[in-house]
Amino acid sequence: MPAGQTLVSLGVATVAAPVIFLSVMLRRARNLAVEPQEPRISCSEDLHRSFSRGVSSVLPLESVRYYHKPRSLEFILESNRFRPFQPQLCTKTSSDSLKGYWICKGPPGKSQLEVESDIVLVLFHGGGYCFGDPLSPAVSLLRVAEIAAARGISTSIFSVEYTLAPEATFPRQQEEAVAAYRHLVETQAIPPDKIILAGDSAGGHLVLSCLIALHREGIQRPKGALLMYPWVTLTNNSPTFESNRHKDVLSKRLLDRCVETVIGERGRVEALNLEDLINPWEPGREHAWDMILPLVTWVNVGRHDVLLHDVQTFVEHARAKGARVHLEIRPNAIHGWNFIVDKNSEKFFCSLSPDDEVPKGVMAGSDCICEGVFNILENDLFAVVGDGD
């Protein structure tokens, strides 16, 4: 990060920290007399969430982008867990129609052509279209491939690199997503019924945007869609933006700044059909989700996520149109919870040897992703897990 941005970031954090601390203490004191409707967040967790939310809402987006950079590839490839499989993992691809990384071609240690795998998981990373990186979830995705292999399912995983804003505005990202899918299907001859499109947050929005475009162009849908806390409408004004505003790490202010950056000069009104995917539309035509979504769509969101209400509304509307959608609502979980949980155990996980058993609770976010993959493969159409609806 340039020295100027570093100074700005340090200044913001220094000023924000005591203000956030005092506001949290006052809020918790006011709420002591109120009977909680759910288990109260611990003070330390409340401070952590509030600091993350408060600082990211005021930092320049360039600084937020810097702090979301992934660990170096060396951390993964030189680790005990994955060093023996270096040539197979995290290989970069860059062509006119496909950019990103093959996180693995077959499970680690069992290299195969991607077309030979039982499934090909194609991931679009999150980050409000303004930050994030295709390698950020690499360790989690490698763990997904391991878990699937233990169930007898061989998996290749591609993480797509798409152009961020402000370098490009929407719908460039949608166009790049469609180009990537077409390349995998048409150039690499991967059957659509082997492909699962996955995305977290803005990546979930991009998956849905891609599926809408595939439908319009008459291109065969993939086998399934895996949406993790998807940002289904960029309008950012649903009830849980208020009710969860002190519980989540995500703020409306940060999301609104991202929208202004990725929509560009068109403005919200003109771009509404691009940003609100709860009821996708275009002049004179309403799209039915049963024609857009794959045979099975799996959706996960945290109970404390500000996007919760939007996600629930999307699922309700999709089901009303005849789409088969599975919803899991994770208790007490925040936006991005699964990758945050995994980040906390990445170092330990990567220190294990390839033959070591992974202790229960380590890389738990990856376990959840696998739940979604297995749900799609098993065609468990309407099950609701956890506290669900």
In Å, how far are 42, 221, 365 from 332, measured between CA atoms? 11, 34, 14
Which sign, positive or negative, has the C-alpha torsion 355, 375, 336, 389? Answer: negative
- pLDDT tens, residue by residue, 73-92: 999 999 999 999 999 999 99
- CA atoms of 183 and 198, how far apart (whole Å): 17
Closest to 199 (Cα-Cα) out of 233, 228, 221: 228
Q: Residue 183 is encoded by which pair of tokens? A: 């390349």
- Which residues, 6+ apart, have CB-to-CB distance to 27 below 8 Å? 246
Residues labelled catalytic: 201
At residue 384, the pLDDT reads 42
43 close to 28: Cβ distance less than 8 angstroms: yes
377 close to 179: Cβ distance less than 8 angstroms: no
- CA atoms of 305 and 309, how far apart (whole Å): 9
Q: Can you say how many angstroms the Cα of residue 153 is from the centroid of all Cα atoms in its chain?
A: 23
Q: Where are the domains of the chain?
A: 3-31+38-65, 71-382
Q: Is the pLDDT of residue 279 over 80?
A: no
283 close to 205: Cβ distance less than 8 angstroms: no
Which 8-state DSSP code applies to residue 266? G
DSSP 34-48: SPPSSPPPPHHHHHH
- pLDDT tens, residue by residue, 231-267: 999 989 999 999 999 999 999 999 999 999 998 766 5
Residue 74, Cβ density class (10 Å: 0-12 exposed, 13-18 middle, ≥19 buried): exposed
313 close to 231: Cβ distance less than 8 angstroms: no
Q: Is the pLDDT of residue 381 over 70?
A: no
Class level of CATH domain 71-382: alpha beta
174 close to 117: Cβ distance less than 8 angstroms: no
Which sign, positive or negative, has the C-alpha torsion 12, 268, 132, 205? Answer: positive
Q: Can you give the C-alpha Rg of the chain in angstroms?
A: 20
- pLDDT tens, residue by residue, 132-170: 999 999 999 999 999 999 999 999 999 999 999 999 999
